[in-house]
Amino acid sequence: MTKRPIQAQKTSWAIYHLKHTPAEFVGIIDDAPDAETAIERAVEKLGVSQNERGRLLAKRRVRSAAQ
């Protein structure tokens, strides 16, 4: 019996601003290799202001390539 092929996974990151409880959702960054890179891309792409940059959090989201 042959094994089923492993589906390729794409990693995306949900970016949150940690100022209040609950944290404020800022946006999603696709295909960043790590959290630091995702935050850097969010600053550029989503236009986060200078004084909010130190309070960003990136949470990893994994989804299959079929989605």
Query: What digits encode the pLDDT tens for the residues 13-23?
Result: 999 999 878 88
pTM across the whole model: 0.72
Domain-wise residue ranges, the chain? 9-64
Cα gap 38→15, rounded to integer Å: 8
Cα gap 42→48, rounded to integer Å: 7
Query: What digits encode the pLDDT tens for the residues 8-49?
Result: 566 899 999 998 788 899 999 998 889 999 999 999 998 888
Both tokens of 40, joined, read 């850097």
